[in-house]
Amino acid sequence: MRLSDVLSKPLTSEFKQIDGFLSNAKLNCGKQKKIDVGVVALPYFCISCEDDLTFNSNGELFCIGINDRLISIDSVLKCPRCGAFVPVWFLVESKGEAHALAPEVRVLKRTEKLTENVQLSRGQYGDFSELLEKADRAYRDELGAGAIVYLRKILELVTEQTAEAEEIETKKANGSPKPFKEVLESVDKRRRIIPREFSDNGYKLFGELSDVVHSDYDEHLGLKKYDTLRRLVIGVLDNIKINRELLEAIGTLGWNAAEVPQHE
């Protein structure tokens, strides 16, 4: 595995062993070095091309030494069709010495400067992909509570939109909103948006998300719980995506969806 493989993947707390990229020579603080570590590839939405595309670096990257274990890397990724570009900066941490022959590394931070021609990738979850990416960016910037706010917003919106699509009432007789727990339970009973693995704890997920937000915007707690809560929210999005694909398949066969039994 090369450094570019790590830079091209979502951030994770795990260290990955890669081929050495500093020629077994220490890079002193503030010193710059050109490195050949393969092509960095990340998804963005190109406004000119009106499509999600994989933006690529043009080969060599520049890095700056910080200390024995930290390296700063600058890159510019370009659209493969029109050449639109986005500058991207990485902070890479090594488990041992960064200049080792086979260091174990992870990306601590990744920051991009979006331009007027480039937006965040819209990804596989449609309108929710941008919120998910914003959650990831907040997490990368160590804004734990902010990241959780975006995850909670995804769960709220997906529940509200499903309720609207299924014509489930979300307001009381006096016009005030029903408690979210009641709406979520009604939606899940009708359309099973919560994966069966934790279907009995759907509202508990929302409660966990809310606890972080309401606990004086606890950044540390948000960072600690983010990976787990994100996986659960992704589970909801994947479940809805699968259900939607199933409903579309039923439609092409001319079946009446109302006649198709729901999974228990």
pLDDT per position as a tens digit, 121-139 = 877 787 788 888 889 888 8
**Contact of 206 with 212, CB cutoff 8 Å:** no
pLDDT per position as a tens digit, 184-223 = 889 888 888 887 766 666 678 888 888 776 765 578 888 8
Classified as helix, coil or strand, 138 is helix
Q: How many C-beta atoms surround the C-beta of residue 214 within 10 A? A: 11
State pTM to two decimals. 0.69
**Contact of 78 with 84, CB cutoff 8 Å:** yes
The residue to which tokens 């659960």 are assigned? 232
DSSP 8-state symbol, 263: P
The residue to which tokens 């907040």 are assigned? 138
**Contact of 158 with 150, CB cutoff 8 Å:** no
Nearest Cα residue to 134 out of 148, 155, 116, 124: 148
